[in-house]
Structure 1
Amino acid sequence: MKDKFIFWRTSSWGLSLLLVLPILAIFVTAMGESDDVFAHLLNTVMGTYTANTFWLVVGTLLLALLFGLPSAWIMAMCRIPGEKVLQWLLVLPLAMPGYIVGYIYTDWFDYAGPIQIFLRDSFGWQSVHDYWFPDIRSLGGACFVLALVLYPYIYLLARAAFMEQSVSLLQSARLLRCSPWESFRRISLPLARPSIAVGMSLVAMETLGDFGTVSYFAVNTLTTAVYDTWLGYSNLNAAAKISAIMLVVIFLLISAERFSRRKQKLFQQQFEHGDDVRYTLTGTKKWLAMMWCWGLVSLAFIFPILQLGYYAFHYFAESWTTEFQQYSINSLFVSIVAAVIAVCVALVVNFYCRLDGRSKTAIPLRLSSLGYAVPGTVLAIGVMIPLTSADHMVNDLARDWGLGRPGLIFSGTMVAIIFAFVVRFAAVAIGSVESSLAKIPPSLDMASKTMGFASTAMLRRVHLPLIRRGCLIAGLLVFIESMKELNAALLLRPFNFETLATYVFNFASDEQLELAALPAILLVVVGLVPLVMVNRSLEQKH
């Protein structure tokens, strides 16, 4: 029977090693002979870049906790007017790319923005020397903007954890006359700590990998160091060393999060149907809760999307160009291809794991998912190293055979972007397909074998019809994530090739936010799809 798995075993291991190759390439290149560029960076600016990165992550985490945790507890444990609408609206900022919100807030709060102009006109101030106003283009401003778009990670996970807590514990707290604050501090918060830790790790990794926001705000971090070293100094070796440092930090963050809850086990009864132990807020508490939630939604989503809509409406003729249409087609093409490939990879590694059933067969599945933890800028370095080597190999072979030089057929074409998207987002497809396959009873597999079905026929005639919806969701999620990806596309795009994300970034970087509004709205609308799906599944569970 094991001989029948040769195709699936070979394919699964081959695909997983291919997807983990960029990560291995970064470490192999980083361990190579050092050069003067990296030594110069290490002796001059690397300390500043590292400190900025550390404080950016810490500041964003603290603000994301401040935004997400109270909102999650209010939505899960309190009754306020409009809560059904707020439950959805509080998730929507996650669909806003951080660099777009950063451009809008800079446009508002800069010296030439409407807010400072209004203050100068109202109070008679003549110049910046007459008053003090916080600089939005600073480390603190970057933390604030990133926290606004990333707090939903903490909100979603913390809210789900609060909703799953035992009714008996909460009722016991009320019988002991615990106030809502004491109930939150002594019961709800400790029980939700694992979920909050996962949300914080996601926020930290997204912050660590951000390039668009910190670049526009002129905050030099390790991510911008990778970009500048590669394109500014044209030194791939030094960029790989910085990327390896970032990867080590990311893996340490993930390991620390898992180690912190290694012995923590929670056994609790969820809210039973019909049980409602939420607090009914009245008076000042009700208005404060509503002001907090609506204010957060307004700052993070409503005001920015209204501003984009205003620009898109008034500059529609200038925005609706042949370039915009062509770049939209480019994004659609590479995202669709990446989604199809990612779903195929997910099917192969998950089906092999199901066929064999031994613990070691899960190794390819886990290896294929490692790329999701790698920032796009770092991943671009890892993708470029093996693809460049493959280009040299193909050109050398073609020259030896007298066929001429075909050129950069891997690193200089859409192959690089598509490969990066598959490596980055294959984990999303793998998780969706894995959960769908887990719902199919093993008895169907045994019945198929009894009827003489080979493994390929079993997948085609039994499993695929049953997991079709999961595959469609997996492809949709990878497609949406690929449409929004900026970092990898910015570094790996071929000449005269743009995606919607890079198109928006280029316009906004040139202070032409009005012309970037229409494609930015399209990216936001596309990003809303997975949020609706996640929130709907959360509502169905509860």
Structure 2
Amino acid sequence: MIALRPVGPLWRTASIAIALGVLAPVLSLGWLAFGADFSHWAHLARHVLPQAALNTAILLLGVGVLVLVIGTGCAWLVTTCDFPGRRVLHWALLLPLAMPTYIVAFAYLDLLHPIGPVQGAVRWLLGFDSPRQFRLPDLRSMPGAILVLGFVLYPYVYMTARAMFMTQPAHLLEAARTLGENARGAFFRVALPLARPALAVGLSLALLETLNDIGASEFLGIQTLTVAVYTTWITRSDLAGAAQIACAMLLVVVALVLLERHGRRHQRYGSAQRMRGITPRRLHGSAAWLACIAASLPVLIGFAAPALYLVWETVKRLRLGEGISDGLLASLGNTLALAAGVTATTVAAGLVVAWAVRNQGSGINRARWQARAATLGYALPGTVLAIGLLTPALSLDALLATLLGREGLPLMSAGIVLVIACAIRFLAMPVGGIEAGLSRIPPALEQASRLLGESAAGTLRRVHLPLLRPAIAAGALLVFVDAMKELPATLLLRPANFDTLATWLYAEAARGTYEEGAIAALAIVAAGLLPVVLLARSGLGAHIEGPTS
């Protein structure tokens, strides 16, 4: 086979620059944190970090246990059992992915308010007249935050666990049953140990999303490290202190990334022949309906109830003739413009990195660090990225202002820094998708093009881009939707008088005005449904009936 000619220096330089650009916020954050006065560290160590770190640890532990129980249990149930509603529930269990955590918290704060519909109905059934006589426990608490985040983030574990359960050979479980194990013992001693690597990957993703959350934690009154970063920077105007808290967050991120890498390292199980998969066992009577209820509850709590609330509030506002305010329309336009800019930037950068790494000739193994570095942004919480980008952005803004001969912050005020922050955070999606797409294209096509005199850029344009359209489109869709939902980085880096749907909802919730916030939330959820539907159709649809003998 003829080796591919390496790409030119321009492609390599661009790829290296993108990879270093992703690492730059972390280096800047360290310089800002450790360059500050030591008194900052002493104050944080006494008054801020202990409580914030403890709250974060408890939240991560609680959410981790909940997503493991719900995700693993539902995956095992729909894989091994046949019951009414299974055909719908196998993909409906993914729907909470369309609900950002802060939107679910926003919805349940109103639904479960002491004078809200749920508590009102409970008091009516019990014969009480006022909240003073009976009220449910306050949702603004650590258990409330764990429940909200757990029922929204369990699909990360559900996806990886179900994929692993569907590929496990049935004869392993049958051998365990033959040796005297009951169904429960076969699950805990055979199926679950085999699925542990996949569970570790799904768990780490769910915990990274928990660590990145700011809206739900603040709405529910939990002072996590992420909330502490925001309040230290915005409320107390202490950038150095916020950077130091962000450095503490990086330690948690490193631990979660190591967990994910460990899971991926042991995720492959080989076999010399094709094995028969698990055949779902048909349930009857009360067992079938109990299974249906158990698998339906996560969908009801994590998606259906908050989504119906948003629809109801939106319809109620429109029926009252209040319509949609000009500010909300402006926020929608800003959201679409931001998402489009982030998508274009991220897809272009992902294409450069994936193509440059693929075409490094004999140095392809040494060049893989560029792709790995470019994908690290997804593990960085938005608050960490924002603080890490602020110092270099302000320095560059000062230089541009001097060159242009005018005052102000050209990059910050134009939203360019916000676009860069979101692009760094979501670059892993197009890089991974395009790399996977390139791996499926036969090298012979590229070799023939280069032997006929075509350059690397010409080969990419005329041969690969037409074949990469599905991968690029999928990556662009995921980036567009995630950019619409992004809250932490947008709160910290948005220009003055610039609101997106996410920040509009955040402001409405902070003021306690839920009606117009529901419209913004519903628009975000509607956009988030698109990739979830595509994921359900492409990832799980082929296995709806279960493996056949």
Normalising by structure 1, report the TM-score: 0.94
Structure-2 residue corresponding to 1:509: 510
CA distance in 2, matches of 1:92, 1:460: 36
Whole-Å separation in 2 of the counterparts to 1:504 and 1:271: 51
Residue among 261, 281, 296 paired with 2:298: 296
Rounded Cα–Cα distance in structure 1 between residues aligned with 2:145 and 2:96: 16
Instruction: Find the aligned partners of 1:159 and 1:17 in 2 and give their Cα distance.
Output: 36
Gap regions ≥5 residues in structure 1: none
Match of 2:448 in 1: 447
Match of 2:146 in 1: 143
Question: Which residues of 2 match residues 8-407 of structure 1 at below 5 A?
Answer: 8-34=11-37, 36-123=39-126, 125=128, 130-131=133-134, 133-176=136-179, 178-259=181-262, 262=265, 266-268=269-271, 277-316=279-318, 317-357=321-361, 358-395=364-401, 397-398=402-403, 404-407=405-408
Distance in 1 (CA, whole Å) between partners of 2:359 and 2:56 is: 44
Q: How much has 1:267 moved relative to structure 2?
A: 2.2
Query: Any conservation in 1 of the 2:201–2:263 contact (CA below 8 Å)?
Result: no
1:475 counterpart residue number: 476
Query: CA–CA distance in 2 between the matches of 1:350 and 1:186?
Result: 41
Decide whether the 8 Å contact of 1:12 with 1:349 is kept in 2. yes
Given that residues 119 and 135 in structure 2 are in contact (C-alpha distance below 8 angstroms), is that contact kept between their aligned partners in structure 1? no
CA contact (8 A) 1:37 1:235 kept: no
Distance 1:28 1:516 in 2: 39
Given that 1:165 and 1:269 are in contact with CA atoms closer than 8 Å, whether structure 2 keeps it comes out as no
**Number of matched pairs:** 536
Per the alignment, in what secondary structure is the counterpart of residue 413 of structure 2? coil
Partner of 2:547: none
Q: CA deviation at 1:3?
A: 8.0
After alignment, is 165-174 or 56-65 more displaced?
165-174
Asked if the contact 1:319/1:515 (under 8 Å) is kept, the reply is no
How far apart are residue 122 of structure 1 and its match? 4.8
Q: For residues 324 and 447 of structure 1, what CA distance do their matches in structure 2 show? A: 53
Moved more, 106-115 or 518-527: 106-115
1:185 is displaced (CA, Å) by: 1.3
CA distance in 1, matches of 2:5, 2:85: 58
**What's the C-alpha RMSD, in Å, of the aligned pairs?**
2.2
Q: CA deviation at 1:148?
A: 0.9
Report if aligned partners of 1:150, 1:203 keep a CA contact under 8 Å in 2.
yes
Encode CA deviations 1:307-354: one digit per residue, 9 max, x unaligned: 111111110243522222221111111111111111111111111111
Aligned-residue offset at 1:501: 1.0
Aligned counterparts of 2:344 and 2:83: Cα–Cα separation in 1: 43
Q: What's the counterpart of residue 546 of structure 2?
A: none
CA shift at 1:472, angstroms? Answer: 1.4
Q: Which moved more, 1:52-61 or 1:257-266?
A: 257-266
Alpha carbons of structure 1 residues 348 and 260: separation in structure 2 relative to 1, 3 Å = closer
Please give the per-residue CA displacement for 1:365-413, whole angstroms capped at 9, x wherever unaligned. 1111111001112211112121011112223x33xxxx53241011233
Distance 1:319 1:24 in 2: 47
The 1-side partners of 2:287 and 2:451 are apart by: 65
d(CA) in 1 for partners of 2:376 and 2:520?
30
* 1:45 CA displacement: 2.8
1:260 shift after superposition: 6.5
Contact 2:81 2:281 in 1 (8 A): yes
TM-score, structure 2 length as denominator?
0.93
Q: Secondary structure at the match of 2:222?
A: coil
1:456 alignment partner in structure 2: 457
Contact 1:480-1:527 at 8 Å conserved across structures: yes
Change in Cα spacing, 1:283 to 1:32, as seen in structure 2 (3 Å) is: same
Give secondary structure in 1 for the equivalent of 2:410.
Answer: coil
Distance 1:416 1:270 in 2: 52
Identity %: 39
Aligned partner of 1:289: which letter? A
Unaligned segments of structure 2, at least 5 residues: 544-549
CA deviation vs aligned residue, 1:244-270 (integer Å, no higher than 9, x gap): 110121112211443467567522589
SS at 2:502 equivalent: helix
Assess, with a 3 A threshold, how the Cα gap between structure 1 residues 446 and 183 changes in structure 2: closer, same or farther: same
Are 1:16 and 1:367, in contact at CA under 8 Å, matched by a contact in 2?
yes
Q: Does 2:519 correspond to 1:518?
A: yes
Q: Counterparts of 2:332 and 2:264 in 1: how far apart (Å)?
A: 44
**Are the structure 2 counterparts of residues 265 and 88 from structure 1 closer, same or farther at C-alpha, using a change threshold of 3 Å?**
closer
Change (3 A) 1:4 1:144: closer
Deviation at 1:214, TM superposition (A): 0.7
Q: Distance in 1 between matches of 2:420 and 2:93?
A: 33
Counterparts of 1:365 and 1:541, CA distance in 2: 31
Quick one: which amino acid aligns to residue 303 of structure 2?
F
